[in-house]
A and B are shown apart, each in its own frame.
Chain A
Amino acid sequence: MSPTSRFASIRNGEALDFSMIPVVPMDEFRSAILKMAAANHRLCALFGASKDGRPPGGLLAVLADDIGGKLYLAASRPVASYPSLTPDLPQAHLFEREIHEDCGIVPEGHPWLKPVRQVPPDKVAFFQERGAEVHEVAVGPIHAGIIEPGHFRFQCHGETVHHLEIQLGYQHRGAERLLGAGPDRRSLSVAESICGDTAVAHAWAYCAAKEALAGAAPSLRGEAIRAILLETERLANHIGDIGAISNDAGYLPATAYFGRMRGDFLNMLMVVSGNRYGKGILKPGGTLFDIPDEMRASMIETVRRSIVQVKEVGEMFFGEPSVISRLEETGVVSRKLCEDLGLVGVCARAAGADRDVRQDHPLGLFRFRHIPVIRLNSGDVFARAMVRFLEAQRSLDFLRGLLDHLPEGTTTVPCGEPGPNRLAVSLIEGWRGEICHVAKTGRDGRYEWHKAVDPSFHNWIGVAMAMRGGEISDFPLCNKSFNLSYAGHDL
């Protein structure tokens, strides 16, 4: 029997009747997931799927086959406890902690079962190393820069970091609960606020799930404008990130130039959507605003100019020997670690993983226009910066091509209301990595629950791993090269 027989299969941005998802006993559910994982399937989401979140409830798993472009879904019968997946499947570690926190289901034998986000961090235990010359450094939750709150606990021996534990949860706002109360007029705004710098990608994931539930297909021009916004968001953040990495490395000219260019892309979002972070333009069925010809011409001009500037400044930055020696071999994450921990996005591609939703599970316009996937092998800060630089250039090329040939037609079609008892999954490659939204409607067509997984949820453990054996003074640079979201993790 093939392992996929325990699963219902759909493609990205599709919905199915909830009754189509096989509900199996827990031990079968567990072994099926392990078999699928052994056959190179990746865990996109694993969560308690009961409405009220009280035990006993069932679990629901979404696994991705990146080569076949399919998503596999399975549910377990309600349980109060089960043998933890984490010892056999490390990428489940945070999902199981979340299940324990949200639903009270106990994954027995989980190596580090502590709260994820809903308990005040001063009430939780931290891993501690003991020894004569070992010392502990605690950083945050209030930081020296204007950034989000998060607590970092280092176990150090001199300058060498033995272990880093990251405790988040300061930004928990109940986004999933608010989304699950929908669909209503504020649902989309909530989705856009899951992570403020990824507003377009989360809004798209939300819209795609709702369209799938309602059985609607958005207009082609709307899809094209969404793709333009998504890539512009990627550009703004990638360029801003390289500038920030340059700042932490102490290389000032590139910081200044990249910082200015980030403004160009934010302004482009502003022109199209009326908001520098691209909020308020996407809606189920398409987009709220069109790109008129005059605006399109000015955007093409900006893109043309940026192609030259990004390349010039990037070559200056990556051509500076002191920069390269600072970035190379700092904060290395191996390919094996990426696969084991299920890391996604820039940091996975920097370590050589061929993982990009735009290629593996294309949605919307990415079905027709492809963006080459950038992969590097070293998995260090340099690779993460370089992947951003190369991806920014590919996105600029994509924008130039698409803006020249924007599909005709209306920007939006009526979306309709979601059908009853259906479940939809949507994956979007945001600039950090894979965003996964899973929505389930009840009998009345309203959401029973709405699950959102930000790439930061997968990747924070990558920061901790990258620091092992490294120097504590490299942490800021290493952290910046991941640039993960606190709000996206805390929801």
Chain B
Amino acid sequence: METLKLVASDLLMVVFAPPIMLGIIAKTKAAVAGRKGPPVLQPLYDTIKLLGKGAVYSKTTTWMFRLGPVVSLAAVIAAAALVPLARAPLISFNGDAILFVYLFALGRFVTITAALDTGSSFEGMGASREAAFSSFAEPALILAFASLAYRSGGLTLARMFAPYGGPSAAASTVLALGSLFVVLLAENSRIPVDDPNTHLELTMIHEVMVLDHGGPDLAFILHGAELKLALMASLLVRLVMPEMPLVGAVGSLILGLAATAVVIGLVESSMARLRLIRVPQLLVAAICAATFGLLLTLR
């Protein structure tokens, strides 16, 4: 019974939290610009609408193209099972952090190959950008994980991402947090790395890879991307936010996710996109921050 409740609450988080988070980001950006903005539930409506549509496949594509959306969503859902969303994660073992990173990589790999499968010059361009930038984002993620794993004494997400006592650990926490936040922006195609709202196919990174997908495939991709954002955000929230009184574990996580969404919205409203050639510089800065964090914990 207890397990069933856990699965049910996790499922609710996996289905509803990601689109609502995106809706809060959009609402924040609209508020800063003086607009009303779309309803907070709009991304959810979009997903439902897309699920009801049919899909169109180009004749040049193969099974790889159809596999992409399914596998990438499955990989992110599998990663969700490792993340301590509300209380304990569904699955937890020593080394699950490594699996978590590789599940993300698997999702990226199938998305990139599906993009290349179309033979479109746009999608090829997007794929090459995604591959290039994630090769900078991954080291930052791994290094930040390493410092957290070292100080918690194990490669378990649940133990790594928990408020860790003492002012002596504050510096390494801040550095890990900073580099993970940059990775979060980069991995989820947010400003300043990518612009999720642009219609300009030549400047896109992630969005241009999924131009040829439609209907349920696109719904899978969109939900997968939203879930990825929510998972990374919930790790960050657990790192800094202790369980708050009155609202409980789930409540504090939800509040934390909403706060993260507002912060992302504010970041997007307060700066322009980076020139594409500068993106690696930002990611290298994240790598450096993560490395310093690691050095501080090893000290």
Contact = CB atoms under 8 A, between A and B. Distances in A.
B20 to A, nearest CB: 21
A326 B278 CA distance: 10
B276 A255 contact: no
Contacts of A475: 202-203
A250 B195 contact: yes
A323 B274 CA distance: 9
B82 to A, nearest CB: 33
Contact of A159 (B29, B198, B270, B277): B277
A256 B29 CA distance: 11
Interface stretch (B30-38, B105-113, B141-149): B30-38
A326 B274 contact: yes
B40 interface: no
A366 interface: no
Nearest to B191: A250
Q: Which of B29, B192, B200 has the most CB atoms of chain A within a 10 A radius of its CB?
A: B200
A186 B296 CA distance: 78
A258 B122 CA distance: 31
How many A residues are at the interface, by size bracket?
Answer: 20 to 34
Interface in B228-279: 268-278
Nearest to B192: A322
A156 B191 CA distance: 25
Nearest to B193: A250
Contact of A137 (B33, B125, B195, B271): B125
Nearest to B199: A144
A472 interface: yes
B121 interface: yes
Interface string A245-262: 010111111011100100
A136 B120 CA distance: 11
Interface in A448-491: 471-477
A135 B195 CA distance: 25
Nearest to B29: A252
How many B residues are at the interface, by size bracket?
Answer: 20 to 34
A221 B110 CA distance: 68
Given A138-B121, A144-B199, A250-B192, A322 B271 contact: yes
Given A137-B121, A253-B33, A256-B35, A144 B201 contact: yes
A250 B273 contact: yes
Nearest to B201: A144
B247 to A, nearest CB: 32
Given A135-B121, A253-B32, A144 B200 contact: yes
A472 B124 CA distance: 13
A249 B200 contact: no
Contact of A256 (B34, B201, B203, B278): B34
Interface in A255-300: 255-257, 260
Given A138-B121, A256-B35, A257-B34, A250 B272 contact: yes
A472 B275 CA distance: 11
Contacts of B278: 325
A255 B202 contact: no
Contacts of B199: 144-145
A139 interface: yes
Contacts of A476: 200, 202-203
A251 B128 CA distance: 25
Nearest to A317: B272
A136 B274 contact: no
Contacts of A144: 199-201
A471 B129 CA distance: 13
A370 to B, nearest CB: 35
B272 A326 contact: yes
A76 interface: no
22 contacts: A135-B121, A144-B201, A159-B276, A248-B198, A250-B191, A250-B192, A250-B198, A250-B273, A251-B271, A251-B272, A251-B273, A252-B32, A253-B269, A320-B271, A326-B272, A326-B274, A326-B275, A471-B275, A471-B276, A471-B277, A474-B275, A477-B203
Interface of B: 29, 32-35, 121-122, 124-125, 128, 191-192, 195, 198-203, 268-278
Given A252-B268, A471-B276, A473-B275, 5 more contacts: A145-B200, A248-B200, A252-B29, A252-B269, A256-B35
